[in-house]
Amino acid sequence: MASLSFQQKSASRNSPEWFEKLLMDGARYVSTPEVRQAAERLAAQGIISLEEREYVLCANARDTEDFRFVRNRDCRGRIYIEDGFDLFGDDYLCPDCGRRIFPAKKTRYRELHVRILQQGVRSYIESVLTQGGLSWKEMAPWLYRVDVGHDEVWLCVVDFCESSQHMTREWALANRNRTLWLVVHPRGKRERFLQEEWISRVSLGELFDGREDLMALLETQARCEAPSLVGSPSLPIYNRNGRHPSSEIRKSAQPKRLFVVQITDGIVLVNGHSVIPKQAVTGYPIFQILLKHYLQDMIESLPSGTYAPLSTKDICGEIYNLTGKEFNDEDAVRKTINRIQNNIETVIKRETGDPIDRCDVIETLRWKGAGEGDHGYRLNPSSVAIRPFISSNTKT
Amino acid sequence: MRNTFNESMRKVGAPLANFWENDLELGLEDMLHKSKTNGYMAEWIGNLNGRRAEILCQSLGLNTGKSLQARRESLGGCNGTLTPYYLVSCFGRNQSHAAIGELAQRQLPQELVQSCLVNDEKFDVTALLFALYHKRPDLLRDVFYLSKIHRKGFARMEMVTQARKPSERSFHDFLLSEDVQSALSNADQTLGDGHTSEFRDVIELNDKILVFIRRAERPEHIVHENRIIHGHHPEWIILDFEAGAKRVNIASNSMVESLEIANRLAGGYFGKDVEYRNEFQVTYARQLERLLERLKANQDEKLTLVELACANTPLNGAPKFKIYNERFIGLGVSHFESAVGGLLDHLNHIESIKVLFAGKRVSVIFAHEEKQAEDEFTVRYSDHRLNVFQRQEFEHYMRQEYGIPILSTEKRFKKQS
């Protein structure tokens, strides 16, 4: 299931997604250079108005002089700096806990407050249509009829359109789906539309940052076929005030701590995610060796607690057996295994969110000199399951 | 007053005023004044329950019958020897039950501890304090110190300076040496506020070394016999060193002072200037989404979602929004999400949540630290709401169940120049 809040993992903070996020009326964001840059571009087009305000936090450990006086150290209150108020006087109180605040000695932060300007949105859309050389007419407030070649396409801005007769499934079908639905609110596209694939929707953020092209979308819409087999319930296309009844609410995941290990073509996968890439010259043979010993112990039906760990020296010997090359660098083996353990933990946490400790796949048993008995590495018999790799192309 | 009190304490072999006032920070004057009011001690004895009366009688060597009435009567006859026990009961009012229970289990016979159980979880702490005092009065000092670690949040710090562990002595040995005083003097000199740090004690507990330092914090005044006496509010700085001082957990009211002292103590040990910084641990967005999904569906056996505070909500105008209740709010959150729009799937907009754990409301925040990628967070919680055992359980549970390393909301920073 795709993550909703982070569709693109590790997305840079310079990502064009900021345009989208900023198109929420009333939204407030901490003013970083990236946010500011994106906001100023939108403001320059007249689409949004910006108010930049300074604030201090009631409980902020960075305020080294003030924090000792904070009774509720979890207080999340923000105190906005107002013109004409005395920064050293009694003018400021925390809105959450009521504590007297002296902002002069506190760390200040900047926040951008966004307001959507409907007139700016209108001008932007109309200018894009005009620049594209299309003729258009506003048939109802925020509902445009656009001439694309010999065809007519409708463009509806769903956030502001009041014409409920046009914003229905029946009307869209009666017009052979020649309508492009444009949404301003960043949550609108995902949560507020009727969830049917034939409905063509685009967000203003996508148009603004260039991910989508309005002209191309209108042309595509002009050529599109009327949808078939769509049933006939009467449903609104868009729910301006909240989540559309048909939009998906995610189901809860079940906890588990079982890691399925697969090997294919020089790559090791854990729960379907690559943890040792093809180019890992040392990592892959080490994993193969650990896997081989794990399988041997399994064939011998040993109790899971007695699966033998391999020392770094054993692993060096096995690498020689496997590759025919002399390998005596025990430190390199140890470092490689550490790296693999960290990588497995990071990949599983990041990609699946499942709980995992670094020893859940490759287990480290008692360090040398830290006690009696075995020490070394093995695949963890209590949490690892081995499965052959099955290509998604394989027919069953 | 002090002389008379000391005289009477000497007679019964009890600690003198300095122990009560300075070591235990107990205001003697008011308590003694009350105890001398007519009938006050008789009433106090009359309110003793069976356990307390029994332990008192055993401690004072009173051979009485088994009835509570007989015990109370014989206790009524030994007013002078009861005074320290009365003070012990007053002292116990502000101490952590967890600390008293833990120390009693380590110091007292199991049968005695078991006899002080009120139910499966709770002890009669006053009875335990009587027994601890009887065994060794200075155990009360340990209770006093340990209570502090159960009630304060600890900033988790790690050493960022590369330093090799001295081979000639351990950190614990260093703390018991004279060198500690010079390290503290250096810290006081650097802080330059004219206050002196008083090294009170060092306790080794579960592979940790707890250092207790008392220091004047901020100016304060009190009224005494119609006169104002000016002084300073005392602050307790607790440094909980781990891993041979490579890590330290700091509990204090002040920010700069406690960090400076920790740096100087460790510097004295390693023989070079060292620096501790706030610890960060990465948790990925997917892990938090999974946690929140389970909390919302009430699928977690130990945690109950009881509060959610969000910014930039899907309501018109994107106002801030808080849902809270004394019980589970997941149904309300689901209703809001189905009617208006998503809340829990927009992690950047969640300001904080509160979960019920061990009957206490614990705040959890998903902090976005500098240099962390968009899907990386540091999860912090208000550890001062839980006692030390509950904290360990909570942290272990979060790591085990969700793979989430969770840190305290407490942080320490150096003074900004």
B96 touches chain A (CB under 8 A): no
Beta strand pairing call for B376-381 and B360-367: antiparallel
**pLDDT confidence bin for B281, thresholds 50/70/90:** very high
Q: Give the Cα-Cα-Cα angle B55, B58, B61 (nearest 5 degrees).
A: 150
Q: Is the pLDDT of residue A7 over 60?
A: no
Task: List the end-to-end C-alpha distance of chain A, in Å, as a whole number.
Answer: 24
- Give the per-residue SS3 of chain B: CHHHHHHHHHHHCCCCHHHHHHHCCCCHHHHHHHHCCCCHHHHHHHCCCHHHHHHHHHHHCCCCCCCHHHHHHHHHCCHHHHHHHHHHHHHHCCCCHHHHHHHHHHHCCHHHHHHCECCCCCECHHHHHHHHHHHCCCHHHHHHHHHHHHHCCCEEEEECCCCCCCCCCCHHHHHCCCHHHHHHHHHHHHHCCCCCEEEEEEEEECCEEEEEEEEEEEEEEEEECCEEEEEEEEEEEEEEEEHHHCEEEEECCCCHHHHHHHHHHHHHHHCCCCCEEECCCCEEHHHHHHHHHHHHCCCCCCCEEEEEEECCCCCCCCCCEEEECCCCCHHHHHHHHHHCCCCCCCHHHEEEEEEEECCEEEEEEEECCCCCCCCEEEEEECHHHCCHHHHHHHHHHHHHHHCCCEEECCCCCCCCC
Residue B357 has pLDDT above 70, yes or no: yes
From B186, B342, B340, B150, select the one nearest B263 (Cα to Cα).
Answer: B186
What's the rounded mean pLDDT across residues A86-97? Answer: 84
Chain A hits for B288, CB-CB cut-off 8 Å, are: 353
Mean pLDDT of A304-330: 83
The CA distance from B91 to the nearest CA of chain A, in Å, is: 24
Residue B293, pLDDT above cutoff 90: yes
Asked whether the beta carbons of residue A252 and residue B288 sit closer than 8 angstroms, the reply is no
- Which B positions 323-342 lie with beta carbon below 8 A of chain A? 334, 337-342
Contacts 24+ apart (CB under 8 A), A228-237: A230/A173, A230/A196, A230/A198, A233/A169, A234/A168, A234/A169, A234/A170, A235/A168, A235/A169, A235/A194, A236/A164, A236/A167, A236/A168, A236/A169, A236/A194, A237/A158, A237/A167, A237/A168, A237/A169, A237/A172, A237/A181, A237/A193, A237/A194, A237/A199
Q: How far apart are CA A345 and CA A338, in angstroms?
A: 11
Q: Could you say which DSSP state residue A26 is in?
A: T
Structure tokens at A259: 């890691």
Question: Which residues, 6 or more positions from B185, have their beta carbon under 8 angstroms from its beta carbon?
Answer: none
Q: Which residues of A touch B416 (CB under 8 A)?
A: 62, 64
Residue A323 CB neighbour total at 10 angstroms: 12
Q: Does B309 touch chain A (CB under 8 A)?
A: yes
- Among B380, B353, B393, which residue's Cα sits nearest to residue B282? B380
Q: Å from A356 to nearest chain B CA? A: 5
- Closest partner CB to B415 (pick from A61, A64, A356): A64
pLDDT at A8 over 70: no
A4 in Cβ contact with B342 (< 8 Å): yes
Predicted confidence at residue A13, as pLDDT, reads 41
Q: What is the pLDDT of residue A372?
A: 54
Q: Please check the confidence at residue A4 and state whether its pLDDT lies above 70.
A: no
pLDDT at A393: 57
Give the CA angle between residues B29, B32, B38 to the nearest 5°.
135
B297 touches chain A (CB under 8 A): yes
- Binned at pLDDT 50, 70 and 90, residue B165 comes out as confident
Asked whether the beta carbons of residue A353 and residue B289 sit closer than 8 angstroms, the reply is yes
Give the mean model confidence (pLDDT) for residues B257-281.
Answer: 94
B394: phi then psi, degrees, rounded to nearest 5: -65, -45
- pLDDT in the model for residue B200: 94
Beta bridge partners of B304: B356
Chain segment B18-77, per-residue pLDDT in tens: 999 999 999 888 888 888 888 888 888 888 888 888 888 888 888 767 788 888 888 887
Q: In this predicted structure, what is the pLDDT of residue A234?
A: 66
List pLDDT tens digits, range A258-295: 899 998 888 899 988 999 887 777 888 889 899 999 99
| B92: nearest Cα among B100, B104, B82, B81 | B100
Nearest to A13 among B153, B285, B374 (CB): B374
Residue with tokens 């020649």: A178
Nearest to A76 among B253, B337, B351 (CB): B351
Mean pLDDT taken over chain B: 91
> CA B88 to CA B133: how far, in whole Å?
8
For residue B324, count other CB atoms closer than 10 A to its CB.
Answer: 14
The answer to whether residues B34 and B44 touch, using CB atoms and an 8 Å cutoff, is: no
A163-172, B127-136, B265-274: least confidently modelled range? A163-172
Contact A62 B416 (CB under 8 A): yes
Burial class (CB within 10 angstroms; exposed 0-12, middle 13-18, buried 19+) of B180 = buried
What confidence score (pLDDT) does residue A395 get?
A: 45
Give A-chain residues touching B352 at CB under 8 angstroms: 74, 76
Beta carbons of A355 and B401 less than 8 Å apart: yes
Look at residues B226, B55, B207 and name the one whose alpha carbon lies nearest to residue B126: B55
